[in-house]
Structures are given as structure tokens and as C-alpha cells.
Chains A and B, each alone.
Chain A
Amino acid sequence: MSLTKTERAIIVSMWGKISTQADAIGTETLERLFLSYPQTKTYFPHFDLHAGSAQLRAHGSKVVAAVGDAVKSIDNIAGALARLSELHAYILRVDPVNFKLLSHCLLVTVAARFPADFTAEAHAAWDKFLSIVSSVLTEKYR
């Protein structure tokens, strides 16, 4: 699976909007994840997961920043996320099913904040992009 030129353009352009609210989007994405899919909280026993928690905000920022890194190196996502890929494979070992859940929650957050921009085409491009990001992050699992 690889991104067409058109898809890349859509992704980069949408990122322009997302980056203006990056931290809030990151936080909201995680809030949505933990509420809709409570089992995902099992990866964060050491966190205060209440709404507004500093840890939640910090982690949300991290996640969205990583997505941003992938966008900025959209021609070489594997390269941009190599370190994160190893982190997830050897240290975090988050079950692969959860990447879909997080991706979905990010899309819901973006859809709610930028409804006019989140056209069917943008939706398709971002779903594909996050799917590729997820593949990269689970690439070294076994």
C-alpha cells in the first residue's frame, strides 16, 4: 500500500490545519480512545487518565507530533518512524489491534473539528495514511 501524489497532497494540506490545534487534538484523541475502548487503558496503569490530566495532554502531544513527523517525511514514513517502530516492538508491545482504534479516534477528532475539510477523499487519504503509519509501527513485532 503506498500513497498516490493526490493523497499525499491532501494529507499534507490537512496536516496544515491539524498542526494549528495539535496538542488539543492529541488530547482529545486519547480521551476518545479511553472512553470508547476502555481496554486501551490497560497500557497506561501508571497514568492519571482523568480529563485535563497533564500526563494525558503530554502524551497526546507526543502522539500527534509523531503523526506530524510521518507527514513531514511522507515519502519515507518507515525512515521517519524507525525509532518509534523499535520502541513499539521491543518495549511497548502494544497489541496491533489498538492502532486501528487510535487511528479511528484521531479521524473522529479531526472530522469533528474540520468537517468542511474532512471530505470523503480526505477521509480516505487519512485512513490509508494512518494505516501505513500503523504498519510501520508494528513492522518489527516478529
Chain B
Amino acid sequence: MVHFTAEEKSTILSLWGKVNVEEAGGEALGRLLVVYPWTQRFFDSFGNLSSASAIMGNPKVKAHGKKVLTSFGEAVKNMDNLKPAFAKLSELHCDKLHVDPENFKLLGNVMVIILATHFGKEFTPDVQAAWQKLVSGVATALAHKYH
């Protein structure tokens, strides 16, 4: 079970408070599909994913990205019990969506990079370290119910 120090929690919370979830969500999912094109396998129904600009401008990508990042907000509220918080979603990703947990790690790292582009200097190595811990914890929690 991942443990966050008080400092890590406050670092994460303070940054999260400044994130535009809708915008960042769309960007994160978009970049996942651009940088790791094989992840497009889950999104056949999303329409035009034929180029980076098509992907980044695709309304379905933006909408779904927002959904994903909003859900990530639950992680920020439940840093001390990620596994129970994501139990239902874990089952969903295994049983219905059939997503290889490796993808959670890819998305987590893309999110970290998005945060870096948005926050620049403020996204110090210490801040990054706290966020890497969080995205890793979420990835683990989402994989926890796999069978």
C-alpha cells in the first residue's frame, strides 16, 4: 500500500486545485493516443484518429479524457485508500473494458508530462516525485481486482 507524507499530500492537493480537469483530461488522453498509437485499439468508435491534430481535436477524445481525469480526482481525495476507492473501476477495466494494466502506467506518465507543460518551473523534481507516487498508486489500484 502506498503511503503519502503530509507534505506529499499537500503538494498534490495544491497543484490539483489549479488543474483545468476538462482541458488537461482531453490533452492527456489525446497524447496517450498520439505518443503510443497502439492504445487506439480501445477507441475504434471514436472516429478520426488519423493524425496528431485529428486526435487532439477529436471531441470524443476530449469528452472521454475529461471523464478519465475527473475520475482521477477521486484518487486525490482518497490517497490513503486508493485500492478500495478504485475497486469498482478496476473490475470494470478488467471484465468489461479488457484493458491491459500496462496502459495505466502509460497514461499516468503522460499525465505527469502534461502537468509539467502546464506548471513549468513550479513542477519541481519534488513535486514530480509526489505525482509519480500518485499515478503509480492509481495504476496499481486499477489493476488490483484483475483476475
Please determine whether B117 and A35 come into contact, CB atoms closer than 8 angstroms: no
Q: Give which listed residue, B34, B55, B125, contacts A123 with CB less than 8 A.
A: B34
Q: Give which listed residue, A31, A107, A121, contacts B125 with CB less than 8 A.
A: A31
Q: Would you call the interface of chain A mostly helix, strand, loop, or mixed?
A: helix
A91: interface (CB < 8 Å): no
Query: A107–B110 Cα gap in the complex (Å)?
Result: 10
For B100-144 the 0/1 string (1 means CB < 8 A from A) is: 000000000100110011111101011011001000000000000
Given known contacts A36-B128, A108-B128, A112-B120, A121 and B34 CB-to-CB distance under 8 angstroms: yes
A113: interface (CB < 8 Å): yes
Given known contacts A120-B56, A127-B35, A111 and B113 CB-to-CB distance under 8 angstroms: yes
Smallest Cβ distance from A87 to chain B, in angstroms?
26
Chain B residues with Cβ below 8 Å from A121 are 34, 52
Please determine whether B52 and A36 come into contact, CB atoms closer than 8 angstroms: no
Please determine whether A108 and B113 come into contact, CB atoms closer than 8 angstroms: yes
Please determine whether A120 and B116 come into contact, CB atoms closer than 8 angstroms: no
Please determine whether A112 and B119 come into contact, CB atoms closer than 8 angstroms: yes
Minimum CB distance partner of B34 in chain A? A120
Query: A40–B125 Cα gap in the complex (Å)?
Result: 15
Chain B residues with Cβ below 8 Å from A88 are none
A23: interface (CB < 8 Å): no
Minimum CB distance partner of A114 in chain B? B117
Please determine whether A112 and B121 come into contact, CB atoms closer than 8 angstroms: yes
Would you give 7 A-B contacts (Cβ < 8 Å), ordered by A? Answer: A32-B125, A37-B132, A104-B113, A107-B113, A108-B113, A112-B116, A115-B117
Residues of A whose CB lies within 8 Å of any CB of B are: 28, 31-32, 35-37, 104, 107-109, 111-113, 115, 118-121, 123-124, 127
